[in-house]
Every structure is written in C-alpha cells, then in structure tokens.
Chains A and B, each alone.
Chain A
Amino acid sequence: MTIVNFTPYAALFGGALIGSAAAILYLFKGRIAGISGIFGGILLPDKTDLSWRVVFIAGIIIGGFIWNLITGEGKNITAAVEPLWIIIAGLIVGVGTTLGSGCTSGHGICGISRFSPRSIFATLTFMATGFISVFIIRHLLG
C-alpha cells in the first residue's frame, strides 16, 4: 500500500460543510439530506413534494459551479473509466441506491449520525463491495 494525494484538511473542511448542509436541511425542513432519495423523488414525483427536491439538487449544482468559478480546478477532473463502464456503473448505482434506500449521503452521513442500524449496515456493505470492486478491476483484471 502506498498513500497518495492525501488531503486531510480539505477533506475535513469539505466534510464539515456537507454535515452543516445536512444539519440545516433537517433542522429547518425535517428532511434527510440523502441525494439518491431526494433525486429519486424527482424522477417519480408525489404531487406535493417536488419543488424542494428540485431546489436542493439545483443548489448542489450551483455549489459545484461556484467552486469551479473560484478555483478554476474543474478542468482537471477527468473520468476514471471508458464511457461503456460509466454507463454500467451509473445503471448499477441507480438500481442499488433505490433498492437499498440510500447512498453515501443518506446512509453514510445522515443515517450513521442518527445511529440507525440499517444505515450502519448499508454503509459497511457498500464500502466492502466498493473495496472488492476496485480490487478486482485494478489488481486482478488491470
């Protein structure tokens, strides 16, 4: 194992911003900041529940836009794999987060903060299969 590109301070501060965002949404709106759940509710919407979801996702897009405007570092972001793998990965992430009721934000951050057994279990599971997935692709196949 070699440790590369480790950015602990940026990571902690970025994480604190994400945590604050989730805390604000729950304190004011009573909603869990789970991106897959919020976005899923846009794709197959209930009657009364659509507008805040669209606004929240728009906020995330604007947040990234502002960051790129200030730092100009967005151009350095490149895909890790070929388009075919991107499509396969996207499909699997869609199926998985919908079936498993959450992703890194809903289970990993909000759920664990509430000490939810389901979220702790889900987070350990997707971390484990994530490690296995990368191990197979990079070290067995690659």
Chain B
Amino acid sequence: MKLFIVLVSGILFGLGLSYGQMIDPNKVINFLDITGTWDPSLAFVMGGALVVNIVAFHFTSKRKRPLIAGETFRKPSKQDIDKPLLIGAALFGIGWGIAGYCPGPMFASVSFAGSSVWLIIVAYSVGTLVTKLVIKYINNQKIKTDIA
C-alpha cells in the first residue's frame, strides 16, 4: 500500500511530463532559444506544477507527519547558497541546453524514444555516480583531518 501510493505518484509524474511534451528534447531546446524559435510551453508546465504544488504545500506543511504511518517530512536541511550549488546548477543548465534533456523526461520517454535516450541515461548515471563518489571521498578526507 505504501509503495502503491509512490507508484501512483510516479505514474502521474510520467504522464504529466509526456502530456506536457517535455519528453521532446527539441521542444525543450526551443524553450531555451529565446532569441530564435521560442516555444514558451515549458514555462507553462512549470507554472501549472507550481500553482498546484504551492497550494498543496501550504496545507501539507500544517501537518506534523505525512499520511503514511512511520514516515517523517524530509525537507532539504541546507539553507545557504554555496559554491557547489552555483557550479552544479550552472553545469546542469549547460548540459540541459546541449541535448534538451533533464532527468525526468529521460525516464518518461525511455520506453519509446529509442537508443538516444538509453545513451543519455547511461552518461547521466556515470556523471552522477562519479560525482557522488568524489563528494563522498572528499567528505571522508575532511572527517579524517578533523579527527587528526
């Protein structure tokens, strides 16, 4: 039952990305091409998602616990705008503009969009895993030097 709700949420997410045509990388790149052939649709997808989510979050945040028993609300705890956030977001935007893919649409279109989607999922996974391992290594080194 717990996982069923998660599955429903994932399916709605995938349907929304597909119906909003965010699974079309050419459409995404056209959104980013303000000075050329501009397609404002992506802003409307974000707008639609934000309206629903702002209202929902307003009410959900009054609760002490989520509806599934034993779960807690896990909001990101970091507050400060630091260098990794700036560099990471800047890099993500560059990659997003090159191929027109952010992570969600990769998964939503993997069942029908052919080999290029598999290729980008593999590359994206490698980039993610290597970065996670490097961050983990650096944090471990920090702990070691702190103890020493």
Contacts and interface: CB of A to CB of B under 8 A. Distances in A.
A104 B17 CA distance: 12
Interface in B52-101: 52-54, 56-57, 60-61, 63, 65-68, 71-76, 78-81, 84-101
B52 A19 contact: yes
Interface in A111-142: 111-114, 116-118, 121-123, 125-135, 137-139
Query: In which size bucket is the chain A interface?
Result: 35 or more
A86 B99 contact: yes
A90 B42 CA distance: 20
A118 B88 contact: no
B123 A87 contact: yes
Contacts of B45: 11-12, 14-15, 18
Contacts of A13: 19-20, 48
Q: Which among A51, A99, A126 has the greatest number of chain B C-beta atoms within 10 A? A: A99
A35 B113 contact: no
Contacts of A3: 37-40
Given A6-B41, A85-B98, A16 B16 contact: yes
Interface string A92-120: 11111111110111011111111011100
DSSP majority for the B interface? helix
A16 B46 CA distance: 9
B133 interface: yes
Interface in A41-89: 43-44, 51-52, 55-68, 74-81, 83, 85-89
Given A15-B20, A23-B57, A103-B102, A79 B25 contact: yes
Interface in A28-46: 28-33, 35-36, 39-40, 43-44
Nearest to B61: A114
B104 A35 contact: yes
B81 A121 contact: yes
Contact of A94 (B61, B111, B128): B128
Contacts of A121: 81, 85-86, 89
Interface in B95-144: 95-104, 107-114, 116, 119-133, 135-136
A20 B112 contact: no
Contacts of B34: 1, 131, 135
Top 5 A-B pairs, shortest CB-CB distance: A59-B10, A63-B14, A94-B127, A14-B20, A100-B88
Given A77-B25, A81-B99, 9 more contacts: A3-B38, A23-B52, A30-B66, A30-B68, A36-B128, A64-B109, A79-B25, A92-B98, A100-B92
Interface of B: 2-3, 5-27, 29-30, 32-54, 56-57, 60-61, 63, 65-68, 71-76, 78-81, 84-104, 107-114, 116, 119-133, 135-136
